[in-house]
Amino acid sequence: MNLVSALEKVKGIGAKTGEQFALAGLRTVGDLINFLPRTHDDFSKVTAISNIEPGKATIKARCEKIVTRPVRRGLRITTATLADESGKLQAVWFNQPYRETQLKSGEEFFFSGEFEFNYNRYQLTNPSAEQVSDMPIQTDRVLPVYRSIKGLKTTLVRKILAELRPLIMMLPETLPADIIKDEKLLSRSDALLAMHFPKTLDDIEKGRERLAFEELFELLLASQLNRQENAKLEGWHILFNQSVVKQFVKQLPFKLTGAQRLAAWEILQDFEKKTPMNRLLQGDVGSGKTVVAGLTARQAAHEGFQTALMAPTEILASQHAETLQKLLSPFGVRVGLLTGSVKGAARKTLYTAIAEGEVEVVVGTHALIQETVQFHKLGFVVIDEQHRFGVKQRQELLKKSQHMPHLLAMTATPIPRSLALTVYGELDISILNELPKGRKPIITKTWSPNSRAQLYAMVDEEVASGRQAYVICSLIDDNPDNEIKSVQAEYKKLQNSIFKHRRIGLLHGKLKSDEKERVMQQFSAGQLDILVSTTVVEVGVDVPNATVMLIEDADRFGLSQLHQLRGRVGRSIHQSYCYLITSTSAKPTQRLREVEKSNDGFYLAEVDLKLRGPGEIYGHAQHGALNLQIASLADTKLIARAQKSARLFVESGQNLLQYKQLAEHVHQYQRLTTLN
């Protein structure tokens, strides 16, 4: 028997049980051994019955009397009187008539369960019971509790793992010995024993630390190695021409922030290096990332290189094309827009222009990565809202050049440092931590649906003074099964009554793209006062005159999403407002409170990371495959330790291949994030 043996080979697993395990995704012995408990219940202390208190308890007792009676169809209750030297208590089981046969022997048993008030008396509810002479598996210890997937019982998992215990004791080490020693970690075998068969709660902590360390080490080692490999790639040389950059900056309608200057400078430095840039530009919503992309694209164009800018939605792509057009046309740089709605002859002409280098900056959606799109000399790739894209799409775009182009990934979701280190470990990072001058903090307030009338009056006042407003709802179609307002119904309601005298637009993902475009244009040009929309406006949309963001059913949105939506306002010198309407008049959730309290995207990202985990925040496109079983990306201390070890490992020039499992895992992570 070894780790790859089928579970059916284990004693106690027949075909039927094996199927149950397989349904839960557990096929081999190794799968089960690495199936870690979700939590543990401490049943390790045996209590005398006279001392028992409500809560989890283990007693050592004999069964004096036991009866089962049918209560109604489908429910049979077994009650027993259990006794030790100190006293007696009652235990109760639901639909477990076999307890009668099990307990009638008069032997001594361990009982572990919840001692609670039920049916007018205190009793031990559904306790596990094991004869004292046995080595206890389900009682009298710190009990691991496993996720019950597809009805897989935790008691069964415990039983089978007990069978596998000798094998776990012999498991080979997977981490380099010096790391185990320096970091004072448990061996792999001890760590797994500690998780599945802990003696004390402290054991679990040590086991968890070791296994979490290993996961983080693999992840961080992967990014170190990727970084090393990227350094071997040859990129394009794009020389920095100071007068070109100065000219560009001079014709801007505003002064760049210090953070924008620094980021641009870092990018221009990277352009001059032999190796391709691999940089993440993170800046909170409204911090002005687009102009940084524009400036650097200008430099690239001047040196004869094309830039491709990929955005996740058509709305955003066309908005960027327009912005860049304004910024770049004074210098004779030509900007093209390629989206799904550019069709027929226009599309063909654009393809030719791109292939011949007549268009120097190509802005587009996923349409950019199609095979038919060929560049003349692609030197610079910008990916906006990069968490919306998968690794594959990024790679497709990078492939469109003879040399690896310089890559700038932009994101408005501030990434907590711990996450940046792990998930984006191989990227260099520039941060726009400064908003343009004169911006006032957005005033955010949560409202109960009962106060809607008052709220609408405030919105109307803003509109009357020349500003514009967004109203966000979360679903398109009327679905009587839930209370979420459909955006269409909301639109009609507002148009026909409350805001009859205002110009209202409707925007949602199911509209035809030219229709979307038209609505967005109108709103942007100030021809609409209020835009009723789904979250399609969430990313990137920039209409500085809009100062009100009203979000219906706000409690149904994630924290980062709310922050993103709020970022659509507060983009000018005017005071802006964000109103969060809850779906019920119940108290606002913690999430809403946090958004109310803080305008700081970094802070909110940290909170979101703690509340919901990385996958939820940073999009499944990229991190769906990043399934950390046990490590927490919020555990900065452990991350720092693993980071140090990974660096030392790479620097010492050790060969990864001598650690088979480690190498396998690391290569998996490497493929997830690599450039090539």
Tell me if 385 contacts ligand ADP by CB under 6 A: no
Strand ranges of the sheet holding 335-338, from the earlier edge strand across to the other edge: 335-338, 361-364, 306-310, 378-383, 406-411, 278-283, 428-432
Q: How many CA atoms are closer than 13 Å to the CA of 332, on its beta-carbon side?
A: 4
Crossing angle for the helix pair 289-302 and 258-272, nearest 10 degrees? 30
- Which lies closer to ligand ADP via its Cβ, residue 102 or residue 522? 522
Asked if residues 519 and 320 have their Cβ atoms less than 8 Å apart, the reply is no
Percent helix, strand and coil across the chain, each rounded to 5?
45, 20, 35
Tell me if 282 contacts ligand ADP by CB under 6 A: no
> How big is the CA angle at 519 (ends 348 and 576), to the nearest 5 degrees?
125
- Which lies closer to ligand ADP via its Cβ, residue 257 or residue 401? 257
Candidates 143, 149, 148, 186; CA nearest to 162 is 143
Q: What minimum distance in Å lies between the beta carbon of 377 and Mg ion?
A: 26
Tell me if 567 contacts Mg ion by CB under 5 A: no
Q: Which does 283 bind (CB under 5 to 8 A by kind): Mg ion, ligand ADP, none?
A: ligand ADP
Tell me if 283 contacts Mg ion by CB under 5 A: no
Tell me if 560 contacts ligand ADP by CB under 6 A: no
Tell me if 550 contacts ligand ADP by CB under 6 A: no
Q: N- to C-terminal Cα distance for the chain?
A: 39
- Which lies closer to Mg ion via its Cβ, residue 416 or residue 540? 540
Q: What minimum distance in Å lies between the beta carbon of 621 and ligand ADP?
A: 19
- Which lies closer to Mg ion via its Cβ, residue 225 or residue 604? 604
Tell me if 312 contacts Mg ion by CB under 5 A: no
- The residue number with the shortest CB distance to Mg ion is 540
Q: Which does 436 bind (CB under 5 to 8 A by kind): ligand ADP, Mg ion, none?
A: ligand ADP
Binding map of ligand ADP across residues 236-265, x = CB under 6 A, - = no contact: ------------------xxxx--x-----
Among 137, 291, 295, 473, binds ligand ADP (CB under 6 A): 291
- Which lies closer to ligand ADP via its Cβ, residue 25 or residue 258? 258
Q: Which does 449 bind (CB under 5 to 8 A by kind): ligand ADP, Mg ion, none?
A: none
- Which lies closer to Mg ion via its Cβ, residue 136 or residue 312? 312
Q: What minimum distance in Å lies between the beta carbon of 289 and ligand ADP?
A: 4
- Which lies closer to ligand ADP via its Cβ, residue 522 or residue 661? 522
Candidates 384, 361, 364; CA nearest to 282 is 384
Q: Which residue has the tokens 């981490």?
A: 175
Cα–Cα separations (whole angstroms), residue 163 to 4, 13, 157: 16, 10, 10
Structural tokens at position 380: 């610079």
Q: How far is CA 252 from the centre of its chain?
A: 36
Crossing angle for the helix pair 314-328 and 289-302, nearest 10 degrees? 60
Tell me if 283 contacts ligand ADP by CB under 6 A: yes
Structural tokens at position 123: 């009793």
- Which lies closer to ligand ADP via its Cβ, residue 264 or residue 300? 264
Number of residues engaging ligand ADP in binding (CB under 6 A):
19
Residues 6 or more apart whose Cβ sits within 8 Å of residue 279: 266, 267, 270, 406, 407, 408, 409, 427, 428, 429, 430
Residues 507-546 that bind Mg ion (CB under 5 A): 540
Residues 513-542 that bind ligand ADP (CB under 6 A): 540, 542
Structural tokens at position 284: 């909170």
Q: What minimum distance in Å lies between the beta carbon of 412 and Mg ion?
A: 6
Q: Which does 563 bind (CB under 5 to 8 A by kind): ligand ADP, Mg ion, none?
A: none
- Which lies closer to Mg ion via its Cβ, residue 540 or residue 619? 540
Q: DSSP letter at 473? A: -
Residues binding Mg ion (CB under 5 A): 540
Site residues (vs ligand ADP, CB under 6 A): 254-257, 260, 283, 285-291, 412, 436, 540, 542, 544, 571
